[in-house]
Copies of this chain bind each other. A is one copy, B any other.
Amino acid sequence: MRGSATSDSEPRARLLLSAREEFLAHGFERASLRRICGKAGVTTGAVYFFFQGKEDLFVHLVKGTAERLTQLGRDLALAELETPDIGPSCDMQLMAFLYRHREEALLLLEKAQGTCFAGFSQAFFAQVRHAFALFFQRYGAGDVDPELPRLLAEMRIQGILELLRGDYTMDRILELTRLTGIYADGGFRALAADLQRQQKNG
């Protein structure tokens, strides 16, 4: 006899599904194992058969995505270094990947406090910051306050997260990414112009 989707499939899979919901809704630390187990139709003890504990459950949810995202970051950084004008394309590739792994990405970048992935978002951010810094140098604005690229990178990240949080289609995401790219590009140009003006005057 086939039962419902929640009670039929394997408990391990049900646990992972239920945990993802809970972690997304409340973050790792405020998530409740009881609720996770309740939603999965499983007793709390069962978690400790399949996993080492609450954190291990989280890790199993995001590990794969974390690795691939790290790799993608490296690849894109390299590509951008070799072929400077590829920036917008890189953004699109990154965004497409994140969109395809929306939930895991949000877990990694927003909901991981209290886990061993707490530092992941910082690391990811560091990559973005580095890319921004290169942009700066390329636009002839190298000796600006070093906090500025950091700040703009942080804002960029939040833009990405906001896109993931929303309930958009892939097409709309990519269009919004394109527009954001134009915005960022225009912003950089304006900054560069301002800096050159200052250097002439100062």
The docked-state distance in angstroms from the alpha carbon of A155 to that of B193 is: 23
**B194–A152 touching, CB < 8 Å:** no
Among A67-116, those with CB < 8 Å from B are: none
* B residues less than 8 Å from A157 (CB atoms): 158
The SS class assigned to the A binding surface is helix
* B residues less than 8 Å from A175 (CB atoms): 145
CB of A13 within 8 Å of the partner chain: no
Given contacts A168-B147, A176-B147, contact A152 B183 (CB under 8 A): yes
Q: How many chain A residues touch B (Cβ–Cβ < 8 Å)?
A: 36
* B residues less than 8 Å from A120 (CB atoms): none
* Contact surface of A with B, Cβ cutoff 8 Å: 29-30, 144-145, 147-148, 150-152, 154-159, 162-163, 166, 168, 172, 175-176, 179-180, 182-191, 193-194
In the A-B complex, the 3 residue pairs with the smallest Cβ-Cβ separation, listed nearest first, are: A186-B190, A183-B187, A158-B158
